Structure 1
Amino acid sequence: MKKELLIAVSLISLSLISCGKSESGNKGSIKLETSETSVVDNNGKIDTLTSGSSTSIVDGKKTETKSSIYKAIDGTLVKVVFTEASHESTLAITSNKKTFTLPKIKSDATETIYQKDNMKATIKGDSLILDQDNNIIQLVKTKI
């Protein structure tokens, strides 16, 4: 009885160990340079925010993604992801588990503007100014 139980446990253990996840992934996609940062929010909870950049090549099309953490005057942290692709450039703003994605409409040497419906984001250097229905929120890039 003990031998049968020992054999059964051994077989189950071997089958669980041998069923590991393959890390090879999609061979048509390349991802480089990412980093992860833990930040404590105002409530003392740990937020895991990703900052850095990555480049992906899928079906011969290159997509560059850069993410940064911005801070509002009241101390609220916001994750901002800039995506540059051959067909589209977007800005994704994530705060309080909500994400707003805005397409780029204008870019020059001093500022870049993203806009969708009533929400507009203006990037000037390390500043991001959000304007939604005349409610203006100023954010500054953090050095995390």
Structure 2
Amino acid sequence: MKKGILIALGMIMLSLTSCKKSESGNKNVIKSDSSGVVLADNGKVDSTVQYETDINGKKYIKTDYVYKATDGSLAKVVFNYDEKTMSVRSNNKTFILKKVESKGNETIYEKMDMKATVKGDSLILDQGNNIIQLVKTKI
């Protein structure tokens, strides 16, 4: 009889201590947060900017990508949204272009005779008579 009461009392105490609710919430639920969203020049969300979510559910801007040209060559592209620049590195050469215009679904960067148009997963480099089409890879 005493063992039954002790077991029941122990179960009640265990259930009371294990059922405490945490104020911090569920860490696995990702909250939608619009803070820090990059806007295009027309005031709408810039759809050419890609966001990633870390383990804690915090959003951050993904800035570097690998693009592949139609001839198979690779180029690393880094976007700096604070300075409004884009750098393209290929064949040990780096070109840094300034953002000129952003329409929300298309962003244009230029420096001297070089022009880069970013639209979705595609990047078109235009330098004089040379037009190079690149596509974002999943490397």
1:80 alignment partner in structure 2: 77
| Runs of 5+ unmatched residues, structure 2 | 1-50, 53-60
Query: Where in structure 2 are the equivalents of 1:94-105 lying within 5 Å?
Result: 94-105=89-100
- Partner of 2:81, secondary structure, is strand
Quote the residue 1:67 is aligned against: 64
Q: Deviations over 1:60-82 (max 9, x none)?
A: xxxx6600000001110000000
Higher RCO, Cα 8 Å, sep 6+: 2
Q: 1:131 aligned to 2:130? A: no
State the distance in 1 between where 2:81 and 2:129 align.
28
Deviates more, 1:64-73 or 1:133-142: 64-73
- Structure with bigger strand share is 1
Q: TM-score, normalised by structure 1?
A: 0.53
Runs ≥4 residues deviating over 6 A: none
Identity percentage over the alignment?
60
Q: What stretches of structure 1 of length at least 5 have no aligned partner?
A: 1-51, 54-63
Report the Cα distance in structure 2 between the residues aligned to 1:69 and 1:140, rounded to whole angstroms: 8
Aligned runs of 1:1-144 on 2, under 5 Å? 66-85=63-82, 88-144=83-139
Report the TM-score when normalising by structure 2: 0.55
**Counterpart amino acid of 2:113?**
N
Per the TM alignment, residue 84 of structure 1 is displaced from its structure 2 partner at its CA by 1.1
User: Which structure: larger Rg?
Assistant: 2
